[in-house]
Copies of this chain bind each other. A is one copy, B any other.
Amino acid sequence: MQRKSNFRDVFYVSDGTAITSETLGHAILAQFPIETRQMTLPFVESVDRALNVQKQINRIYEETGVKPLVFYSVVLPEVKAIIEDCSANLYDVLNALVEPLKHDLDMEPMPQLQRSHSISKDAASYQDRIAAIEYTLAHDDGVSLNNLEQADIILLGVSRCGKTPTSLYLAMQFGIRAVNYPFIAEDMTSLKLPQAIEPFRYKTYGLTIDTGRLVAIRNGRYANSDYASLQQCESELNKVESMFRREAIPYLNTTSLSVEEISTRLLDMSGLKRRMC
């Protein structure tokens, strides 16, 4: 198999969801000038499955002559032994920090299978999270402006500036009850904060976006429509941003930010606590 010299196969292997290995692996690999093909193998919980993973990894080494990079987080000792016996460059994502922590805490670790947000582990926080998702779904896209006193945050902005994905991420990841309300073309003649939102203006935040980006996104949805025209997008953005400034609503330009970044920035701006652990 012909390969570029900076090309590497990467595996994320875990006896859990592999989310920790993936998150850390992505962050580390982003620092190296390599191209990768990545494969995630969660729930490697049996010797059989571990042997299959080993075979898969070893085959790549045999075919390419280049050791794959394996980021792994495995608690089960019999599985771990098999993974550590692969023909690969091996990175134990937890162990690298468990060792110094063991020393600093002067305690032995008690390795256990990870249970993120598990129902059995913490029913109350699980319920909070589900309730936040429900509340956020019920208040998506201006569908309802009832029960705003229960909202943690209210997002405002033109259509397609990132309100819905951000609201859902806030609910899902942080247990935040998010309302989002779109200003549409019909609102533009005399733009103001909706009356139902007025009493809760202290928890409103604006999202905005660059005109060119908005035109591209809207064209992806309704090509060549008035809705997607440069003129319409520019006019809506100008009016909404000037309203944000007039009403002293803090706002954020989402153009070059990921949903994770927008969400974390909003938490930061609002002082809201992350509910999940």
Which residues of B have CB within 8 Å of A274?
A: 40
Inter-chain CA distance A94–B71, complex, in Å, is 13
> Is the pair B94, A96 in contact by a Cβ cutoff of 8 Å?
no
Contact residue range for chain A? 35 or more
In the complex, whether A190 has a CB less than 8 A from a CB of chain B is: no
Which residues of B have CB within 8 Å of A18?
A: 264
> Is the pair A105, B32 in contact by a Cβ cutoff of 8 Å?
yes
> Is the pair B105, A260 in contact by a Cβ cutoff of 8 Å?
no
Count of this chain's copies in the oligomeric assembly: 2
Inter-chain CA distance A179–B21, complex, in Å, is 28
* Nearest-CB residue, chain B, relative to A169: B172
Taking A18-B264, A42-B265 as given, write out 4 further A-B residue pairs in contact, using a Cβ cutoff of 8 Å, ordered by the A residue number.
A19-B23, A23-B23, A89-B100, A120-B255
In the complex, whether A104 has a CB less than 8 A from a CB of chain B is: yes
Closest 8 CB pairs of A and B: A96-B96, A31-B109, A117-B258, A17-B264, A89-B104, A120-B256, A20-B27, A23-B23
Quick one: given A101-B91, A255-B119, A257-B119, are A114 and B268 in contact (CB under 8 Å)? no
In the complex, whether A1 has a CB less than 8 A from a CB of chain B is: no
Complex interface residues of chain A between 199 and 241 (CB less than 8 A to chain B): 213, 217, 220
**Binding stretch for chain B, among A126-134, A148-156, A180-188:** A126-134
Which residues of B have CB within 8 Å of A27?
A: 20, 73, 93-94, 114
Interface flags, A113-155, vs B, CB<8A=1, else 0: 0111111100000110110011001001000000000000000
Inter-chain CA distance A16–B112, complex, in Å, is 29
Which residues of B have CB within 8 Å of A96?
A: 96-97
